[in-house]
Amino acid sequence: MKHAICAGAALLCNLLHLSVSAQVPVRQSLPNKPLLFNQLSSKTNISAVQLEQLFSLDADQHVKIPLGSGTYLTGVVKEKVARNKHVTNVTIECTNYDGALLTVSRIGGTGSSITYLGRVVNIRYGDVLLLTGQDDRYYLVKEKASLVIVE
């Protein structure tokens, strides 16, 4: 009986060792992707009026948003969805940035302050633009895609 317990324990230890050694550690490095927004400054001012105008557009309408220094973000509205009376989303395919998607959400409603959130993303590139607000001013800020998107 004593030998059976020892043999069983030894077998269990061997199986555990094989199981642990068979697992391959994950050492995944992210590929170096080209940058899409390298010609833009790291922080680009965008007005609340420009953002609000996006919500007056309908699907398939063209848009041209000035980004300063003679640069524009041009595209086509793909979708406008009112999630509820306080949240509306607009998705725009950017034709001059290799099909990147601009998504903007308007949060707030009548009688309350309105906040805008959004981002411009193309998963084939290593950078994104995040729409952030600060003191009633809005900015498109460049970030590394690896810090924003899970691949």
- Which of 62, 99, 67, 103 has the alpha carbon at shortest distance from 83? 103
pLDDT for 2 beyond 90: no
Q: How far is CA 145 from CA 36, 79, 125, 130, 148, in A?
A: 11, 23, 8, 10, 5
pLDDT digits (tens, 9 = 90+) for 27-55: 666 568 999 999 899 999 999 999 999 99
pTM of the predicted model, to two decimals? 0.76
Alpha carbon 130 to chain centroid distance? Answer: 8
pLDDT digits (tens, 9 = 90+) for 124-138: 999 999 999 977 789
Beta carbons of 90 and 69 less than 8 angstroms apart:
no
The stretch 89-118 carries a mean pLDDT of 91
Range 45-48, long-range pairs (CB < 8 A, 24+ positions): 45/137, 45/138, 45/139, 46/131, 46/138, 46/139, 46/140, 47/138, 48/114, 48/116, 48/136, 48/137, 48/138
Give residue 56's pLDDT: 94
